[in-house]
Amino acid sequence: MPSMQVKPSARDRIIEAARAAFRSNGIAATPLDEVAALAGVARPNLYRYFASREELVRQVMIAEVRSVNAARWERITLTGPVRPLILDSLVTGHDLSQDYMANVTLVAEAASITAELMSHDEGLAAAQYEYWGPLLDYGRGRGEIAVGLSNERIVRWFLTNHVLVAERPELIPDRDLRSWFSDFVVPPVLAAQGGTS
């Protein structure tokens, strides 16, 4: 029996076209005419699906977060101590984002837009929590996450550091991201171990 492929909706085609165009040109340099052509729709039809260019960019960023999250779940299993899971998640998320954002201009634009949207956009925050919520809850269940920190604060901490290393990688000694995350980003979110002061 032949497999049936689901044809993507016009909205999904537009988002994927915008992702491809942004990857090639950067966000600011991508004309909406190019996005429309790649999606196979007339430019005026873009506004049937997205109220503005900003809304399209927002939806592309959410789609990218979900894509990175899906790839992380393929690599990470909720077993064992949470510290290495968080560390691997941070490094993997950074590497996957950098792979998508191979265009140097796009790295700075996307990091800046992500930071701006995370300050007030519930949709992007929800996409981040789709990944981090289960991981942090797993760690809480094991007693390994600091009691006084909410998932929201922890995710904001992780994203603050993600923006830092995406925009200014030269600030990381020897560009050793794994050590940076391991030494400075992960420890503050972990529960204190007995006998330390």
pLDDT, tens digit, 9 for 90 and up, residues 76-89: 999 999 999 999 99
Residue 32 has pLDDT above 90, yes or no: yes
Q: Which residues pair with residue 16 across a beta bridge? A: none
Least Cα distance to 128 among 104, 100, 156 occurs for: 156
pLDDT, tens digit, 9 for 90 and up, residues 50-70: 999 989 988 998 898 899 999
CB-based contact 146:191 (threshold 8 Å): yes
Q: Taking all residues of the chain, what is their mean pLDDT, rounded to a whole number?
A: 87
Q: What would the two tokens of residue 182 be?
A: 């391991």
Residue 125 has pLDDT above 90, yes or no: no
Residue 120 has pLDDT above 60, yes or no: yes
Note the pLDDT of residue 158.
94
Q: Give the number of other CB atoms < 10 A from CB of residue 10.
A: 15
What is the DSSP code (8-state) at residue 170?
Answer: G
Residue 196 has pLDDT above 50, yes or no: no
Least Cα distance to 140 among 86, 186, 82 occurs for: 82
Note the pLDDT of residue 194.
47
Note the pLDDT of residue 6.
67
Q: Of residues 43 and 125, which shows the higher confidence score?
A: 43
Least Cα distance to 54 among 121, 8, 130 occurs for: 121
Least Cα distance to 132 among 110, 148, 154 occurs for: 154
Note the pLDDT of residue 26.
83
Q: Of residues 169 and 107, which shows the higher confidence score?
A: 169
Q: How confident is the model at residue 114 (pLDDT cuts 50, 70, 90)?
A: low
pLDDT, tens digit, 9 for 90 and up, residues 143-177: 999 999 999 999 989 988 988 888 788 888 888 99
CA atoms within 13 A on the CB side of 18: 26
